[in-house]
Chains A and B, each alone.
Chain A
Amino acid sequence: MHYESTERKPLILGDKSYHQITEDVVRPIETAAPRAWWVAFSIALVMFLWGVGSLAYTVATGIGVWGLNKTVGWAWDITNFVWWVGIGHAGTLISAVLLLFRQRWRMAINRSAEAMTIFSVIQAGLFPLFHMGRVWLAYWVFPIPNQYGSLWVNFNSPLLWDVFAISTYLTVSVVFWYVGLIPDFAMVRDRAINPVQKHIYKILSFGWGGKAKAWQRFEEVSLVLAGLATPLVLSVHTIVSMDFATSVIPGWHTTIFPPYFVAGAIFSGFAMVQTLLLIVRKVFKMEDYITIQHIEMMNIVIMVTGSIVGVAYITELFIAWYSGVEYEQYAFLNRATGPYWWAYWSMMTCNVFSPQLMWSKKLRTNLVFTFMISIVVNIGMWFERFVIIVTSLHRDYLPSSWSMFSPSFVEVGIFVGTIGFFFTLFLLYARTFPVIAQAELKTILKTSGEVQKKLHNDHGAQH
């Protein structure tokens, strides 16, 4: 057995046995939901229904019920789309990239992070769909055979690339997540008393028997899927950024966008993971598994990616000046000093300045502070997309067409609705799925458990 240096902090706190871990992870599934869950679920459901109503109204009446105009053709819709896609990125990064890099601290958080990925990609997908003027013809974006002669999709269009990128991403993420869930579902199945529950988990666990061969295949599939998912971490947001980067609009037409968007996505994704896990940890009493060290690690990622994003912002400004293109120069000047200066400076404050506070160890290990920063970062990243989309569009080449944008209650409703939908899904997930990949976690108990480390430290390798 591989032993980990005792210099490394333990990843599992307290005196945990394998059974203890099982008990801790399965508790939310097997016990009745606490009142707080019901309250949260009701709120999320109401928000979701509001969103459904807003969407129904939009589809029935027309995109005109939003606040868009002849100059600003995208605003909250695509802002929300990019925001949600970005949030999704942390899950894949944690489960795939960190798996390849053998980062064991991922094991406590990857399940929820991946759930978050899937749920947020679902939200993201709603926007490109419902922002269409004729959503009932949305299937035309797929290159499907048709009776219209040689009518084909336009492979030049980044929006089409988006279709492929997002659908691939969602598919791979779901498969990867599900494969990881199989042994855990089997664990729940084996413990279930209620026959209905048992039956459901039986189906979900695909007849997992825990044979050595099964474990071996499980490991292989996980590794292959991790390999498949890793490029997606980079490709999805790169392609999303190309919606803007390949255009001719000053403020969009920027070659820095792909890395900048990927960094931003990881940044916002980790912030969202942080937000969710701080709650899960507290509510489901998982402090022993999602430790301060986990929180700190993620805070460091947030700080680093936040700095990358900050560098990107400054690079954009520099290049705008250096390019000598007056439209470009004006676009960035207008962002910072024009009618939407407040959005720009909200973005700057939230994304560039606030993560820098994480240099302080005291702050980055403070849970309340971390929670606040995670929210602030998510707000900031929403503003980043708003700034890119709206402030570039509202004043582009011809001043005669300059305009302003303000959302209607319907757009706000749809956004709130997706937040509701997201939390509805997440809350359901938290009560029915093992929120921690317990099977995986058990593999590191002997090496990274607090008690085991201490024993190892005290008694040497023979233990």
Chain B
Amino acid sequence: MASNKVYWKSFDQLANTEVSQRLAENEFAQDIPVDVFLSEASSSDSTTSRRDFLKFLGFSTAAATLAACEQPIIESVPYVVQPDTLTPGVPSFYATAYTDGQDYASVLVKTREGRPIKLEPGDSARFNRGTNARAQASVLSLYDSARLREPRLGKKNTDWASMIIALKKSADQSRAEGTQFVLLTSSVYSPSLQTAIERLRQGYPNFQHVEFDAVSQSNTLDVWESLTGVRALPSIDLTAASLVLSFGSDFLASSMAQQVSSDYAARRKPGTGMLRHVELESNLSLTGSNADKRIKIKPSEVSASLAYLINQLGGSAPSVGLRGDLTKALQSLASEMKSAKGKTLVLVGGDDANQARLAAALNGLLGSFGTTLRSDKPVYIRRGNESRLSNLIADLSAKRVGTLLVAGTNPVYFRVDFSKAIAGAKFSMALTDRLDETAMLCTAAAPIPHFLEAWADYRPAAGEYSIAQPTIKNLFNSMPLLEVLGSVSGDLRSAKDQVAASASAMGLDWNKTLHDGGSTVSSGAISGTPAAAAMAMAASIKLAKPSEGMEIALYENALGAGFQANNPWLQELPDPITRLTWDNYLTVAASDALAMGFENETNSDGSLDGSYASIKVGKRLLENVPVFIQPGQTAGTVGLAYGYGRSAAGKVADGGGVSAYALGISTGSAKVEISKAEGMHEFATVQLGHTMMGRRIVNEVNLNEFVSDPSGASWNEKPTFHTIDGLKSAEEANLWANHDHETMHMWNMSIDLTSCTGCAACVVACNAENNVPVVGKEEIRNLRDMHWLRIDRYYSSDMSKDRAAEENIGGIEMYAQMEEPSESPMVVFQPVMCQHCNHAPCETVCPVGATVHSREGLNHMAYNRCIGTRYCANNCPYKVRRFNWFNYITNEQFADVNPSQDDFGRMVLNPDVTVRSRGVMEKCSMCIQRVQYAKLEAKKVGQPIPDGAFTVACAEACSTGSITFGDVNNAKSAVRAAKSDARAYHLLEEVGTQPSVFYLTKVRNA
């Protein structure tokens, strides 16, 4: 039906007046002089002919075409069918379990447009929830272009079908010939994998499964197996502890450190009842640096000390003579332990059976079982058995092995005897992520997926079951171990189906378990406590006298056992203690270095050099080991980190450092002969000043002082200034106009120096979140690291201002001595990033205004505007600004190390953060992309941002909760509470920069 409505625009039109009629006729109010234009005389006598016009047209078309040819072609293919779960620009998170052959952690994977780009801590209910440096870095290992891409038989690439046929043929042949079919892996704690292995065992009576851990815990596991009947380590529960006594155990950096350090920090909240931690160790470890009291001890003195303590506490153990000073220290420890019975935990490091027995006995004596030491809730992530590995090596050498399948580990690198033995296998196949030392010697090698590419499940500890899910389609032609084993045993289910079957066998809801990343289950617990058995065991052991000569203790730094050695983020991560990168080295006490003629010297350009040593353990010789003089190292001992000295890991790792595994030390420590070698090694360090030079940088207070003065007036004195109006604080004595800090948000960050352990997970998290370039050893040596967040480590010095005043030592002498760290230093860590000053020295000096202040308390850096005068960096009192000295994304010097120069490595880049070009300054942005994202999300729902709705990358990665980020204008925020804490202070407050970052005084329970 046609509408008969009449629309009108004005009353005139409605009334159809004369004016409106005239207007209607005349659509355009003004005449357009078309006629004038057309009749213009000049147009007819124009010299431009039709031919000319066509020529110009042709030319300009050709020119436009040519110009178009020079444009770079960027292929960006949109989804044909857009997945409904994926919005470009919006990240998706998946719960999964992180494993790298050594560690286990429950994590959340952040993916953008189908690419995993970041790991975050998993659900708080999960076991070992959180990320250490290795976990944070593991997402880059996914995109390692050195990964094996295709299965290869001999030297030729092949397909999986032929691989499986070859493997099965060899396995069948071995069965027929009566030779062994051996699967060699690191510890297997996956229920599905255990089922698959069982099925294989049923089909092949000659099948054997050998597990070994790169850094072995075999002897300790033997002890616990004899005590509890289960091959598993007890878990430790610090929540119930008030005294931790650790003999060289680096428990804050171990594979379970996320769980342990979180409990540790919770129990070390400053106040009465704060957990006390005493460390007795030879190397200065991360854990020892955090101790309230640290006693230098040699590895060979540990057993005797433990025995001494047992005897002191009324137990029975063989007694061995000890140094007088050590005896005295142990005596006072014994009395401390007596008063903390049932709340004490004794830990040992390394893998010495006697030490494990004595520690178990001591824990039994102290009533730790069931309270701090939970042998009833064991951890299964270490199951390796060295004696079975030795048998395998013997069998290989005797050619009793027909088929050797090495999966996910690298025995040729980890065990010095293996390279010769492996030739004894008739058919050997490495299921590996790269053509590593083992794969090179195998008949066949095939790629296995990265943990982010495959289905898997785990039972890492009693009561915990977790599922790992793929977050990206496998990049290369890899097959999970579950499917490989299944193919041989005739189980053709996919890995997902196998995992799902295991989960349903446990009666778990698949979707919920998958969503949560795991579930609590009832299996795995052990009943009864072996305290009595442990004490009885200790009474009967035989102890050797502490040795006189030099001893070596091996340790793990951020690289750990070395599974991720080819990860540039880990290689470039400064060691928390030595602050060296890209290397391992012999840590030597200053007195020993002097005696043996070892030197460390700083060159005129600030680069550090060190002597070389040759070290000999038994018959094994390791040459050209760089020497680093380490304060806090027990005299008569040296330390060396695992994980370096690779020859076939990839461009990043190969040739860096020496392999500690080559020494063949099975218990973690041994007697060693050391001699000086020729030449000087080039180190790459990021820190040259090791002490605080008497300055108030890390504010530190003893617990009793802290408790007796809760206001902090005596131990957290703020700088004041004499002005014409009397004494004023740094904030008041101020020449600048203040910014408005009350309207909207005011982002602040609190860093608790008491709970910060210096583990450096935050540093790697920051690298990953903010696309921080990797610059390689040479540039680090040139003191040009690009880290936005660094963890300063300071040693105490024997010289102090008070001492200088007492002894009448002049300023020159005092400062010279202050530069020298003490032989037995106290250690403090201080994470330092851009302090986001509210009166920022950098902002005033930039000639082009490239760095400016936000009204939310942040200091912004506009890369586009920066012309690179570096004036801001010079004027930064915190020295947190980092300059792009080179074009790290194209300069060939960085091709091997910087992920953004690699087609695969580039996939790890966070699309929310600009990759900086050369010549511009960069620095911590306080994860501005996260701030903006949270603000937009809040805007969408029309609510203020709730406290804790988001946080910055470093804070999120921190297992101890040391870093708190939030809005101080939100009265209920955690950071607001922290700001009013008596421990709060600003770094270099006297400079008047009014930072948005503040620190909480370190409290030591000394």
Are B879 and A326 neighbours in the complex by a CB distance under 8 Å? no
Q: How far is the CA of A154 from the CA of B867 in the complex (A)?
A: 13
Are A70 and B886 neighbours in the complex by a CB distance under 8 Å? no
B719 → A minimal CB distance (Å)? 10
Count chain B residues whose beta carbon lies closer than 8 angstroms to a beta carbon of A.
Answer: 66
| A212 proximal to B (CB < 8 A) | no
Closest to A392 in B: B874
Closest to B697 in A: A398
What B residues does A243 contact at CB under 8 A? 871
Q: How far is the CA of A337 from the CA of B873 in the complex (A)?
A: 25
Chain B, residues 336-363, CB within 8 Å of chain A (1/0): the string is 0000000000000000000000000000
A341 → B minimal CB distance (Å)? 10
Closest to A404 in B: B606
Chain B, residues 746-785, CB within 8 Å of chain A (1/0): the string is 0000000000000000000000000000000001001111
Are B844 and A157 neighbours in the complex by a CB distance under 8 Å? yes
Q: A153-B849, A329-B811 are in contact. Are A403 and B606 (CB under 8 A)?
A: yes
What B residues does A397 contact at CB under 8 A? 695, 877-879, 988, 991
B906 → A minimal CB distance (Å)? 20
Q: How far is the CA of A128 from the CA of B847 in the complex (A)?
A: 12
A335 → B minimal CB distance (Å)? 12
Q: How far is the CA of A131 from the CA of B867 in the complex (A)?
A: 10
Interface of B is mostly: loop
Q: How far is the CA of A24 from the CA of B692 in the complex (A)?
A: 67
Closest to B693 in A: A399
Are B865 and A399 neighbours in the complex by a CB distance under 8 Å? no
| B918 proximal to A (CB < 8 A) | yes
What B residues does A457 contact at CB under 8 A? none
What B residues does A399 contact at CB under 8 A? 689-693, 695, 697, 794
| A225 proximal to B (CB < 8 A) | no
Closest to B783 in A: A69
Specify which of A62, A152, A154 is in contact with B887 (CB 8 Å cutoff). A62
Are B784 and A62 neighbours in the complex by a CB distance under 8 Å? no
Closest to A133 in B: B868
What A residues does B784 contact at CB under 8 A? 64, 69-70
| Interface residues in A31-86 (C-beta closer than 8 Å to B) | 61-64, 67-71, 73-74
Specify which of B604, B695, B815, B919 is in contact with A62 (CB 8 Å cutoff). B919
What B residues does A330 contact at CB under 8 A? 693, 815
Q: How far is the CA of A352 from the CA of B603 in the complex (A)?
A: 30
Are B693 and A70 neighbours in the complex by a CB distance under 8 Å? no
Closest to A329 in B: B811
Q: How far is the CA of A416 from the CA of B843 in the complex (A)?
A: 34
Are B879 and A63 neighbours in the complex by a CB distance under 8 Å? no
Q: A70-B785, A404-B605 are in contact. Are A398 and B848 (CB under 8 A)?
A: no
| Interface residues in A391-441 (C-beta closer than 8 Å to B) | 393, 395-406
| Interface residues in B856-884 (C-beta closer than 8 Å to A) | 865-871, 873-875, 877-879, 881-884
Specify which of B697, B846, B867, B871 is in contact with A138 (CB 8 Å cutoff). B867
B851 → A minimal CB distance (Å)? 9
Closest to A163 in B: B847
Q: A64-B886, A141-B847 are in contact. Are A396 and B689 (CB under 8 A)?
A: no
What B residues does A158 contact at CB under 8 A? 845
Specify which of A62, A133, A333, A400 is in contact with B891 (CB 8 Å cutoff). A62
Closest to B786 in A: A70
Are B832 and A70 neighbours in the complex by a CB distance under 8 Å? no
| B977 proximal to A (CB < 8 A) | no
| Interface residues in B674-710 (C-beta closer than 8 Å to A) | 687-695, 697
| Interface residues in B695-742 (C-beta closer than 8 Å to A) | 695, 697
Q: How far is the CA of A444 from the CA of B997 in the complex (A)?
A: 69
Q: How far is the CA of A403 from the CA of B847 in the complex (A)?
A: 26
Q: How far is the CA of A402 from the CA of B608 in the complex (A)?
A: 13
B348 → A minimal CB distance (Å)? 33
What A residues does B783 contact at CB under 8 A? 69-71, 403-404
Are B689 and A400 neighbours in the complex by a CB distance under 8 Å? yes
| B790 proximal to A (CB < 8 A) | yes
Q: How far is the CA of A156 from the CA of B794 in the complex (A)?
A: 36
Are B887 and A404 neighbours in the complex by a CB distance under 8 Å? no
Are A404 and B848 neighbours in the complex by a CB distance under 8 Å? no
| B636 proximal to A (CB < 8 A) | no
Count chain A residues whose beta carbon lies closer than 8 angstroms to a beta carbon of B.
Answer: 56
Closest to B917 in A: A134
Chain B, residues 437-481, CB within 8 Å of chain A (1/0): the string is 000000000000000000000000000000000000000000000
What A residues does B919 contact at CB under 8 A? 62-63, 132-135
Are B605 and A401 neighbours in the complex by a CB distance under 8 Å? no
Q: A133-B919, A249-B875 are in contact. Are A156 and B695 (CB under 8 A)?
A: no
What B residues does A333 contact at CB under 8 A? 811-812, 815
B564 → A minimal CB distance (Å)? 26
Are B920 and A61 neighbours in the complex by a CB distance under 8 Å? no
B672 → A minimal CB distance (Å)? 32
Q: How far is the CA of A69 from the CA of B919 in the complex (A)?
A: 13
Q: How far is the CA of A71 from the CA of B606 in the complex (A)?
A: 11
Q: A154-B849, A333-B811, A404-B606 are in contact. Are A73 and B883 (CB under 8 A)?
A: yes
Q: A329-B811, A400-B794 are in contact. Are A70 and B847 (CB under 8 A)?
A: no
A241 → B minimal CB distance (Å)? 14
| B885 proximal to A (CB < 8 A) | yes
What B residues does A64 contact at CB under 8 A? 779, 784, 885-886
| A248 proximal to B (CB < 8 A) | yes
Are A404 and B688 neighbours in the complex by a CB distance under 8 Å? yes
Specify which of A70, A128, A140 is in contact with B873 (CB 8 Å cutoff). A70
| A308 proximal to B (CB < 8 A) | no
Specify which of B812, B878, B885 is in contact with A398 (CB 8 Å cutoff). B878
B95 → A minimal CB distance (Å)? 37
| B546 proximal to A (CB < 8 A) | no
Are B603 and A406 neighbours in the complex by a CB distance under 8 Å? yes
Are B877 and A398 neighbours in the complex by a CB distance under 8 Å? yes
| B792 proximal to A (CB < 8 A) | yes
Are B841 and A141 neighbours in the complex by a CB distance under 8 Å? no
Are B844 and A398 neighbours in the complex by a CB distance under 8 Å? no
Specify which of A67, A71, A128, A141 is in contact with B879 (CB 8 Å cutoff). A71
Closest to A59 in B: B919
Are B604 and A132 neighbours in the complex by a CB distance under 8 Å? no
Are A153 and B891 neighbours in the complex by a CB distance under 8 Å? no
Are A151 and B695 neighbours in the complex by a CB distance under 8 Å? no
Closest to A247 in B: B875
Are A134 and B847 neighbours in the complex by a CB distance under 8 Å? no
A383 → B minimal CB distance (Å)? 15
Specify which of A74, A327, A403 is in contact with B688 (CB 8 Å cutoff). A403
Closest to B688 in A: A402
| B602 proximal to A (CB < 8 A) | yes
Q: How far is the CA of A404 from the CA of B604 in the complex (A)?
A: 6
Q: How far is the CA of A74 from the CA of B606 in the complex (A)?
A: 15
Are A405 and B877 neighbours in the complex by a CB distance under 8 Å? no
Q: How far is the CA of A137 from the CA of B991 in the complex (A)?
A: 32
Closest to A156 in B: B844
Q: How far is the CA of A221 from the CA of B689 in the complex (A)?
A: 58
| A160 proximal to B (CB < 8 A) | yes
| A159 proximal to B (CB < 8 A) | yes
| A235 proximal to B (CB < 8 A) | no
What A residues does B782 contact at CB under 8 A? 67, 69
Are A246 and B605 neighbours in the complex by a CB distance under 8 Å? no
Are B867 and A337 neighbours in the complex by a CB distance under 8 Å? no
Q: A64-B779, A74-B870, A330-B815 are in contact. Are A402 and B604 (CB under 8 A)?
A: no
What A residues does B865 contact at CB under 8 A? 140, 151
> Quick one: which of A63, A71, A73, A157 has the most chain B CB within 10 A?
A73
A253 → B minimal CB distance (Å)? 10
Q: Can you list 7 A-B pairs with a CB-CB distance of less than 8 A?
A: A67-B605, A74-B870, A133-B870, A327-B695, A393-B874, A396-B879, A404-B603
Question: With A74-B874, A133-B920, A400-B689 given, can you name 16 additional A-B contacts, CB distance below 8 Å?
Answer: A67-B605, A69-B783, A73-B873, A133-B866, A133-B883, A133-B884, A134-B919, A249-B874, A329-B811, A334-B815, A398-B878, A399-B697, A400-B790, A400-B830, A402-B689, A406-B606
**Nearest 6 A/B pairs, CB to CB:** A133-B868, A133-B919, A399-B689, A64-B885, A404-B606, A406-B605
